[in-house]
Amino acid sequence: MRRLIAGTGWKMNNTVAETRRYAQILGQWSAGQDLSAIDIFVLPPFTSLHAAASAFSDTLVRTGGQNMHWDDSGGWTGEVSAGMLVEAGCRYVELAHSERLQHFGETYACVRLKVDKAISAGLTPIICLGETAKEKAAGRADAVLMEQVLTSIEGQPDQRIPEVVLAYEPRWAIGGAEAASPDYVAERHAALREVLRKHRSEEVAQQTRIIYGGSVTPENGKSLIGIADVDGLFVGRAAWTPEGFARIIELVATAAREKSLSA
Ligand code: PEP
């Protein structure tokens, strides 16, 4: 059975002091919960990574970067390497977030290089995948997802693929008013799993986790995490407070218990 995931990306929010406060509140809450069946991550901005890793060190919460460069060092002003993230206590790194693609011109060809470096450094890459509103309207969602995922994992041997987390984040649903409908999410996740099955193997398809992100809230999260092919929730705004993230974690932990009972 795939371990479910509850994760949040903070974007450009939370100073070091705010990070410590968030971790203290979430840490106190989580101490009274049984969260051993799920994986939990937070993705602070670079300057708060070290503080987050140390503030969460006695909890099950792991930290990750929101981006990284594919090179180890050198003339890449403004960038950080996989090794630097590891040194700051990271276990994860988010790649190809829609805001990176939209505002900073990132491409999946670069993402492929980053995936390779991240895995080699011992980081779990969270690879964001998603179609734009225009691509959705043109009925191209699954073709776009296939192209993105195959480019991102190109050159990786099959045994490495389950080490990545795929995050289906429809670009039109991020930062919006509404998440994609459960039926729509179920179709896209099934299509992504089918791509892994067809282009890799049944084993890779069964082992690789595919999480959903895009306007998830504690209210709509229950029906999304209940979908068989959805292996976790990736949340922005609704988890920017520790109380909000606690509600999402609770949903995922409950779903993990239910899914294991029905397995
Ligand atoms: C995101 O930015 O990845 C995201 C999922 O944001 P939100 O939940 O706020 O839509």
Q: What is the pLDDT of residues 19-41, one digit of tens each?
A: 999 999 999 999 999 999 999 99
Atom 7 in ligand 1: residue holding the nearest Cα: 236
Mean pLDDT across the stretch 204-227? 97
Atom 8 in ligand 1: residue holding the nearest Cα: 236
Token representation of residue 152: 């991102």
In the reported structure, the alpha carbon of residue 236 is separated from the centroid of ligand 1 by a whole-number distance in angstroms of: 4
Q: What is the pLDDT of residues 159-170, one digit of tens each?
A: 999 999 999 999
Assign 227 to helix, strand or coil: coil
In whole angstroms, give the CA distance from residue 158 to residue 242: 37
Token representation of residue 112: 């492929």
- Does position 129 have pLDDT exceeding 90, yes or no? yes
Closest-CA residue to 44 (of 94, 3, 79, 86): 94
Beta bridge partners of 166: 127, 210
Q: What is the pLDDT of residues 133-179, one digit of tens each?
A: 999 999 999 999 999 999 999 999 999 999 999 999 999 999 998 99
- Does position 262 have pLDDT exceeding 90, yes or no? no
For 1, 163, 196, 212, 213, the CA distances from 7, given in Å and listed in that order, are: 19, 16, 23, 10, 9
Note the pLDDT of residue 10: 98
* Residues sharing a CB contact under 8 Å with residue 260, sequence separation 6 or more, in sequence order: 1, 37
Catalytic positions: 97, 169
